[in-house]
Structure 1
Amino acid sequence: MNEKHAKRIDQADQAWLADPEVYEVNTLPPHSDHESFQNLEELNSGKSSLVQSLDGDWLLNYAENGQGPVNFYEEDFDDSSFQSVKVPGNLELQGFGQPQYVNIQYPWDGSEEIFPPQVPSKNPVASYVRYFDLEEAFWDKEVSLKFEGAATAIYVWLNGHFVGYGEDSFTPSEFMVTKFLKKEGNRLAVALYKYSSASWLEDQDFWRLSGIFRSVSLEAKPLLHLQDLKLTADLVNDYQTGSLKVEADIAYRLPNASFQLELRDGDNDLVAEKVGPIRSGKLEFTLEDLPVKGWSAEEANLYQVRLFLYQAGSLLEVDRQDVGFRNFELKDGIMYLNGKRIVFKGVNRHEFDCKLGRAITKEDMIWDIKTMKQNNINAVRCSHYPNQSLFYRLCDKYGLYVIDEANLESHGTWEKVGHEDPSYNVPGNDQRWLGASLSRVKNMMARDKNHASILIWSLGNESYAGTVFTQMADYVRQADPNRIQHYEGVTHNRKFDGATQIESRMYAPAKEIEKYLIDKPEKPFISVEYAHAMGNSVGDLAAYTALEKYPHYQGGFIWDWIDQALENKGHLLYGGDFDDRPSDYEFCGDGLVFANRELSPKLANVKSLYSNLKMRVKDGQLFLQNDNLFTNSSVYYFISSLLVDGKLTYQSRPLAFNLEPGESGNFALPWPETEDERGELVFQVTAHLKEDHLWANEGFTVAEAEEVVEKLPEFVPQARPELVDCDFNLGLKGKDFQILFSKAKGWPVSIKYAGNEYLKRLPEFTFWRPLTDNDRGAGYGFDMARWENAGKYARLQEMSYEIKENSILVITTFSLPVALKGDLTVTYEVDSQGKIAVTADFPGSKETGLLPAFGLTFALPKELTSYRYYGLGPNESYSDRLEGSYLGIYQGEVADNFTHYLRPQEAGNRSRVRWYQLFGQEGGLELSANGADLNLSALPYSAAQVEAADHAFELTNNYTWVRALSAQMGVGGDDSWGQKVHPEFCLDAQEARELSLVIQPLFTK
């Protein structure tokens, strides 16, 4: 309604569901999320008697067809047949309705052809009932009823009286209910509809879940009550002192009223105060020349504002709001925080829990924030809706920069399959949607305006453009000139460029961004979504972080933080697994962390490239660049270490380097003498926190760097083994070993050490990897299909052997069902110790195109359950995702090498491997490099098994599968629906390649 608070409406009307101009009825004006208490003791304890929670067990009737029980809201309605449901909670995750995952398309697409603002005819309705008694502290006060979040439309009754209606799922709907309340036996009823006209504005890329998924509470309002508080906390005098402007809206119904405002620091010491009378409902004043420290993600200095409200000397209410002093501004097309050019090292984040859906907990939020900080992420975009208020309080406290985004996305109204068609785009230029769209922005800004962490307001996500967005942008800039406003959708219609102060783009290639940056840009650039982290991804993130050298490039936000997978019977499931149709299936699996909040290997790469400490070790010296904006490098200590063949032989005492923010320098490091060392040398430097922080303890590693003086092992045969040349097999044997080569197949059919058979199936050439999500999106399955089974169907051409002085050489040549430039050969040089030097030569294809990989696959006994290797680790790595991996000796269980991406795909590769050991109870095998390092994976499943599986729990472990590669193409990651792997990380199919490794027995761990 255009005059949403102008008059009270006493009757509900179901027609509101399909009316875009009715989006809130009888709601209170939105206001700040300050906390109110009756006295100082309550404030110190954090428990307010002015808030009565209605969370917990509610009664529910769920009607899939939209026909709920008639008049269920009446006081004498018999609800004994209703079931129990948790609030907060998503209905679909409690057995009511079906979870559905779609991205762009609307959930009813293909079932009904409807257009905005129509509502699907199948519109589930949940009829909620909650009984409660009113706590005594509420008996003599005005009382409001607040729903923090409910999807999608709610009608509310209390004790049979209609209270109001609300639609915005992610900001509060609050109603005044004083006159409807009783001291005991209150009956609250809510009819929640899954779809309304608002659904056209809430087409986010997420699970379509409904229900009252955030807290519900009653809030008591004393006769003197703070209704709204606006705090403008600036740094002035060259950012050396603070200025605090206070604007308070007070419900003023008593004479002889007064206030006392205190500003206290983190140690609870008084910084400033102001006292005075209250003569009207408005307070406005400014505290100047405050001795405060600036707030930033690096140094999250928070202060507390306390407002005491008195009547005739008696305290009626005390209010609390944390505040951070900072100055965020746009100058000459560049964003500055406290006078320093800022770079957002960010990530997009949905509110999500694999068990709770969007009803996430405080523990979830703290885990997310701590893990972001530990991985050098300094910014988060609330995609694509306002989060719980607690999240912003925590971002203020821990230190994260935030883009707060209005709950507005209409992606499916303008983007179709393969083209754009904004003919019925919402909101576009249609003024019927202006009120609802503006309301969403106003609700967000009114609630969140006092949070230091919020630097940028976003109008919403992927909703094209139009005059409505221009009007929204005008409102935001007028209402809050101390922040910056952005909206990416104008990139689809440059006529509306004025609706954003930032050139924010999604998934633009790094080279395209660079063109913008060097062409006299007028606006700062951020990649508001980039480096799509779906499955095995985030390849060549370095191409983007390298753009930070351009002043107008101010960082980006990786898509996204957490996989949206739902746990069911211990398994993580994705779209379509609940028979939800239409669905966008595994596209919900694009997080840097898995849905159960386990870290993915991608995060190590992000940590390395996002670090504010840029380190490089060369010729015994450390080059250190301090990219912090406000923090001297002396807050870290540094350790230099020397590894010889992967083993730690030296570690320095803690070192200190003094660099001011933005400075760089070269520092000599203490190393031992290395002239007599015969192995491979690795000079490593690590940086650590010198003190405890909220997000990590003293000693936590924030950055690493290394220099390698490479020395790779080469095979030197010891003596010739015994040769047994028979009709069908060629045998080579010696003490405690025997190897059989099949003359018909051309492959070894048996490798026995100490009587144990290690070869469970014939080896094979491999030119393939199980397709990643990015591979599928880029069409590589079609482009490279000929390589999937080429190795499986290799045909023996010739087999021979050669007796050498200290070894026997077996030579085999093969042809492929792909035309090659020459012979595909494998040679085996075997000595008397049972060592087998294997060399596979690929001559190159006559056909153009890309090659996924080249190497050999071995099926070994599944009893080889443990591994130990020397190479890059500890996580998997790929040619375009090496950052964050370091040379060392690592060990673990083979089963843990398989990374559980939401849909099975290429996983587990270790790069620059020097040697790799596999063992069980009775020894095992070692595979080692021979003159050139290896890519190697040891997994419980074959590439074919992984390729065929839709879920990890479908896979069965029959063998330990080893894949030794000379090379594998990168994983890519600019996006997951078309972008190719960058050329420098691709393999040209016409290029010759060689794999060389040594296999030998391992009798002990």
Structure 2
Amino acid sequence: MTFDLDRIADPAFVRENRLDAHSDHRWFASAQEAETGTSSFEQSLNGLWKLHYAKSPALVVPGFERVDTDDSGWDDVPVPAHVQLLGYDRPQYTNVQYPWDGYEQLEAGQVPQRYNPVATYRRTFTLEHPLEPGERLSVSFHGAESTVAVWLNGTYVGYGTDSFTPSEFDLTDLVVDGENLVVAQVVRWSAGSWIEDQDFFRFSGLFRDVVLYRRPAVHVEDVRVVTDVADDLSEATVRVRVVLAGDGRVDARVAGAGPLTGDDELVVRIEGPRLWSAEDPYLYDLTLDVHDASGRLTEHVPVRVGVRRFGIEDGLLKVNGSRVVFNGVNRHDFGLQGRVMTREQTEADIRLMKRLNINAVRTSHYPNNSYFYELCDEYGLYVIDEMNLESHGMWDLIRFAGAGTDVALPGDRPEWLPALLDRAASMLERDKNHPSVVLWSCGNESFGGTGILEVAEYFRRRDSRPVHYEGVHWDPRHPQTTDVVSRMYAPAAEIEEFLATHRDKPYVLCEYAHAMGNSFGAVHKYVDLAYREPLFQGGFIWDFADQALRRTDPAGREYFGYGGDFGDAPHDSDFSGNGIVFADRSLKPLAQEVRYLYQGYRLSVGSDKVTVENRHLATSSSAHECVVTVAREGRVLQEAVLETDVAPGASQVYALPVTVPSASGEYTVDVSFRLRRSTRWAAAGHEVAHEQTVVVVPATAPARRVALPEVVAGIHNVGVRGRHFTALFSRLHGGLVSYRYGLTHDGGRELLRSVPRPSFWHAPTSNERGWGAPALDGAWLVASRYATAVRGADHPAVEQTDSGVLVSFRYELPTAPVGECELSYLVDGDGRVEVTLTVRPGAGLSDMPELGLLLATDHAFHRLRWYGDGPEESYVDRRAGARLGVWEADVRTSLTPYLRPQEAGSRTGVRWATVTDERGAGLRLESAEGMELSALPWTPFEIENAAHHTELPPIYQTVLRPALQRRGVGGDDSWGAQTHPEYRLPTETELTFRFAFRGLL
């Protein structure tokens, strides 16, 4: 038998001599060996392989599979790895576009001919132990993108497709004593690539483990574990079906429950079971001891069993009889080495999810490495396990090009059905024993058709878990494909309207809150709805981590690269930067909001009591320590522990064990629930939920009296000065040109670098670019840069008042129609400057991206301290997770490093803030109403012009932008959904913003 590379263009050619899929159990020589975690039946082939990289099949080395072929000139490369990250070819990021689109005219299933790289791998191995009589040997490629063909000692072994599930081949008849040569050939694009059009970087190669497995003469080929839980949860039955190769028997036992008995099916009953859930991921230890006909132990198989009931009951998704809300996230198996993820890196992701109160994951859009599910079992996460299927590029022909449904892929095309069913079986059979897996997903964004319906029916024949598929929304011909209504990015209001008349299925958002760049606004509307409307059972944020790869610019500075940074075309730019964490797993500011919205308690805090609503399904509030704190401007005044015992699903009111002082001032009352004991994912004291209220005790303060400043009326300038300051207002330049504070022999330190200007613009966010805001808002960019001060004998207007000197400028805004604004400065004798900005926009203009003042000061003033919302950046539609307090940051690092520079680093609810140098000199800003404040090293225009953070100019100033409001960041989606109206500045009405500043010595 030989292998013909031309066959990779046949969609029905999905496997040849590949072993059938089976459970991902491991087997050991003994229980003692199992305790070590290292099996003598496994031999890793990870490490250095020889590689020849051909740009097309025609350039593959003849005789590459032969033992006597000289590969000494081939490169040594590590496995697992993507060849594109080893210096061959290039990474390519596309969302929907097929990577070959525009280069070759291809029909579905055909593969590029001019450029379709082939990676040929070779390595030798010697078995660590000779095969015993009756033993068999296999090799498993746990991830090979997009196909793998295998040879051993010069003989063709077999072929497998599906990049994301194992391709395993029997080597027994070809292995020899001593050195063996294994050859694997991986083609970048095959017919299967047409249904692997996921939103990700396009790679190829052996990117997961390669392992040799020895099978004893009597061997457990497959294990199927099913748990049945009684309606009243008082007992459970564990049923185990074993496929045994060879003549022997299996002895099975569940620790704490006893032995399993039976013939075709092994069964044990557990009284009062401890049920598995995301809150209490308890696992029973099932062991299978396999004996041959003589009674000799041939292998020991440990399986961890989660006893739980999950399914649709009473029309709702329920776990152990209770309605579940998915506080979920989508996750690509992706890190700094692309899709090469170690167990340790995967475990770190899961620990981080647990700390962010995430309870569910969708494997977007392919099966993850096997140990991901094992870790989800152990840590407690509900998983939608998604089959490796996406043909988004073909679906676009229907959506946007007006093509008929017959072009859908796989659609109703029979030639694609073998690939679909093969992928479905490979996922289900491998992952079926994981209690974390609660739904099977037929794939993603592939329209609909009879092929996907067949997949759904296959899942139902083989397993009891519900089936998920979102594409039914777009192709409703076969609604029975999915057991749940699944949508992407539907607004919360639309969901509520839909459920008012459609009550037949549970509703989930398999993707929502597209967290691209500075995003995640108004997500509370979705979470609130999930706890108000029973049929809406939550959703999965898109997505967990940015897909980005480290790059180095010509100056040697590192940055994270996105589409187009690798010489790749076509590409989709920074559309891969939509994680709630950065590529290096550092938290984005929006993670603060995720943690808050997904917390297991809803708390309503008053000045003397708190209402605790326990949203957990199996955890009493007594499991967490409740700490109540009273503070004033960040200084803790009282702290006490409140003992609570609120049952799951219940609510209770408690008196607070603290008292708000009667003295005038603004106080915060914080209620915090924390871990009593350390877990695998967080230390004791980790906060799992919080809420805050602000209590203001009013006072009748006496009027502030200060000496009046002196006015110096010059020809071109108006000077205002006092004992410690001078302010200079220019008639020529139309504004405040100088503010010196702390008079010395040289006139004091200048605190301004340029004339403060009205600010209506910020660097567009990724979401704003997505819905076309820069084009709609262009008038406000022009107004920010080119507002013209009105000149004349009475400009600026100068007026002596009881409070000081009022200097006012008027500006014409070069918009169509023309708008105007007035900027006035009230200067008192201490050098405090109260600023009032009033804007009267022209009719018909879009809402302003922001309304504030751009004030540049010395770069030495980089120490930011503020009393307002924090600790992370916040915006009007993303501030629920923030809390009022006194926080600190460094201006130089306050521009959040989203993949593409954009509006970032702003703070809401700021009462006061200081920017100072190392000695404490600088500026203080104040707002009685609470303003928004940005303090960055660059202007919005400089930020907008940079494609990467390394392209920003050297730091030479600190740019302050106090504002009445900035437009909310939005984020229902990133390609059309605008910021919700209530989080935008009003249009066609006069707007006024006030704040004050003064110098600090």
Q: Which residue of 2 aligns with 1:890?
A: 887
Q: Which residue of 2 aligns with 1:6?
A: none
1:40-439 to structure 2, matched below 5 A, reads 40-66=31-57, 67-121=59-113, 122-136=115-129, 138=131, 140=133, 141-236=135-230, 238-253=232-247, 257-264=248-255, 270-274=256-260, 283-311=264-292, 312-354=294-336, 356-416=337-397, 418-419=400-401, 421=403, 422-439=405-422
Does 2:26 match 1:28? no
1:17 to 4, 8, 13: 8
Q: Which residue of 1 aligns with 2:555?
A: none
- Cα distance in 2 between the residues matched to 1:716 and 1:936: 25
- Cα distance in 2 between the residues matched to 1:568 and 1:42: 43
Spell out, residue by residue over 1:48-105, the C-alpha distance to the aligned partner (whole angstroms, 9 max, x if none): 0000000011110111233211111100000011001111111101111111011111
Amino acid at match of 1:962: L
- Cα distance in 1 between the residues matched to 2:40 and 2:718: 87
Q: Is the 8 A contact 2:395 2:445 kept in 1?
A: no
- Cα distance in 1 between the residues matched to 2:697 and 2:547: 44
Does 2:555 match 1:568? no
Change in Cα spacing, 1:315 to 1:711, as seen in structure 2 (3 Å) is same
- Cα distance in 1 between the residues matched to 2:295 and 2:217: 14
Does 2:689 match 1:692? no
Where 2:307 maps in the other structure, the secondary structure is: coil
- Cα distance in 1 between the residues matched to 2:926 and 2:971: 29
Cα offset, 1:114, TM superposition: 0.3
Q: Which residue of 2 aligns with 1:7?
A: none
1:580 to 558, 563, 568: 568
2:652 to 656, 665, 671: 665
2:630 to 635, 642, 667: 642
2:455 to 464, 469, 472: 472
Taking only aligned residues, the RMSD between alpha carbons, in angstroms, comes to: 1.7
Change in Cα spacing, 1:213 to 1:717, as seen in structure 2 (3 Å) is farther
1:841-920 to structure 2, matched below 5 A, reads 841-920=838-917
- Cα distance in 2 between the residues matched to 1:437 and 1:146: 21
Where 2:157 maps in the other structure, the secondary structure is: strand
1:553 to 536, 540, 543: 536
Spell out, residue by residue over 1:551-596, the C-alpha distance to the aligned partner (whole angstroms, 9 max, x if none): 1111000111110001123210000011100001111111111111
- Cα distance in 2 between the residues matched to 1:833 and 1:108: 68
Count of residue pairs brought into register by the alignment: 977
2:440 to 457, 462, 482: 457
- Cα distance in 2 between the residues matched to 1:300 and 1:964: 48
Amino acid at match of 2:368: N
Q: Is the 8 A contact 1:612 1:627 kept in 2?
A: yes
Q: Is the 8 A contact 2:711 2:718 kept in 1?
A: yes
Where 2:281 maps in the other structure, the secondary structure is: coil
- Cα distance in 2 between the residues matched to 1:642 and 1:820: 51
1:560-639 to structure 2, matched below 5 A, reads 560-569=543-552, 570-639=558-627
Q: Which residue of 1 aligns with 2:828?
A: 831
Range that drifts further, 887-896 or 340-349:
887-896
Does 2:713 match 1:731? no
- Cα distance in 1 between the residues matched to 2:782 and 2:704: 34
Cα offset, 1:941, TM superposition: 1.3
- Cα distance in 1 between the residues matched to 2:819 and 2:328: 49
Where 1:464 maps in the other structure, the secondary structure is: coil
- Cα distance in 2 between the residues matched to 1:137 and 1:34: 23
Q: Is the 8 A contact 1:645 1:679 kept in 2?
A: no
Spell out, residue by residue over 1:375-428, the C-alpha distance to the aligned partner (whole angstroms, 9 max, x if none): 111000000000001000000000000000000111111214845534422110
Where 1:472 maps in the other structure, the secondary structure is: helix
- Cα distance in 2 between the residues matched to 1:484 and 1:419: 34
Range that drifts further, 920-929 or 543-552:
920-929
Does 2:936 match 1:971? no
How much identity, in percent, do the aligned residues show? Answer: 40
Spell out, residue by residue over 1:527-556, the C-alpha distance to the aligned partner (whole angstroms, 9 max, x if none): 011110000111100111121111111100
Amino acid at match of 1:592: I
Change in Cα spacing, 1:820 to 1:739, as seen in structure 2 (3 Å) is farther
1:981 to 979, 982, 995: 979
Q: Is the 8 A contact 1:504 1:526 kept in 2?
A: yes
- Cα distance in 2 between the residues matched to 1:679 and 1:953: 44
TM-score by length of 1: 0.95
Change in Cα spacing, 1:776 to 1:641, as seen in structure 2 (3 Å) is same
- Cα distance in 1 between the residues matched to 2:839 and 2:528: 35
Amino acid at match of 2:388: N
Q: Is the 8 A contact 1:263 1:271 kept in 2?
A: yes
Cα offset, 1:806, TM superposition: 4.4
- Cα distance in 2 between the residues matched to 1:387 and 1:202: 14
Spell out, residue by residue over 1:234-286, the C-alpha distance to the aligned partner (whole angstroms, 9 max, x if none): 22251122211010001114xxx33221212xxxxx4211378xxxxx84222
Q: Which residue of 1 aligns with 2:745?
A: none
Where 1:999 maps in the other structure, the secondary structure is: strand
Gaps of 5+ in 2: 553-557, 743-747
Cα offset, 1:946, TM superposition: 0.8
TM-score by length of 2: 0.96
Change in Cα spacing, 1:290 to 1:22, as seen in structure 2 (3 Å) is farther
Cα offset, 1:197, TM superposition: 0.4
Where 1:593 maps in the other structure, the secondary structure is: coil
- Cα distance in 1 between the residues matched to 2:710 and 2:132: 98
- Cα distance in 1 between the residues matched to 2:689 and 2:538: 19
Where 2:140 maps in the other structure, the secondary structure is: strand
- Cα distance in 1 between the residues matched to 2:897 and 2:584: 11
- Cα distance in 2 between the residues matched to 1:980 and 1:805: 46
- Cα distance in 1 between the residues matched to 2:543 and 2:989: 36
- Cα distance in 2 between the residues matched to 1:647 and 1:682: 10
Does 2:476 match 1:494? yes
Amino acid at match of 1:404: D
Cα offset, 1:291, TM superposition: 4.3
Change in Cα spacing, 1:210 to 1:359, as seen in structure 2 (3 Å) is same
Amino acid at match of 1:969: R
Cα offset, 1:159, TM superposition: 0.5
Cα offset, 1:673, TM superposition: 4.9
- Cα distance in 2 between the residues matched to 1:396 and 1:777: 38
Cα offset, 1:821, TM superposition: 8.8
Spell out, residue by residue over 1:873-906, the C-alpha distance to the aligned partner (whole angstroms, 9 max, x if none): 0001111111110000001211221101111111
- Cα distance in 2 between the residues matched to 1:87 and 1:536: 36
- Cα distance in 1 between the residues matched to 2:927 and 2:392: 53
Where 2:173 maps in the other structure, the secondary structure is: helix
- Cα distance in 2 between the residues matched to 1:911 and 1:717: 30
Amino acid at match of 2:61: P
Gaps of 5+ in 1: 1-9, 265-269, 277-281
Does 2:645 match 1:678? no
Cα offset, 1:819, TM superposition: 5.8
Q: Which residue of 1 aligns with 2:759?
A: 766
Q: Is the 8 A contact 2:607 2:695 kept in 1?
A: no
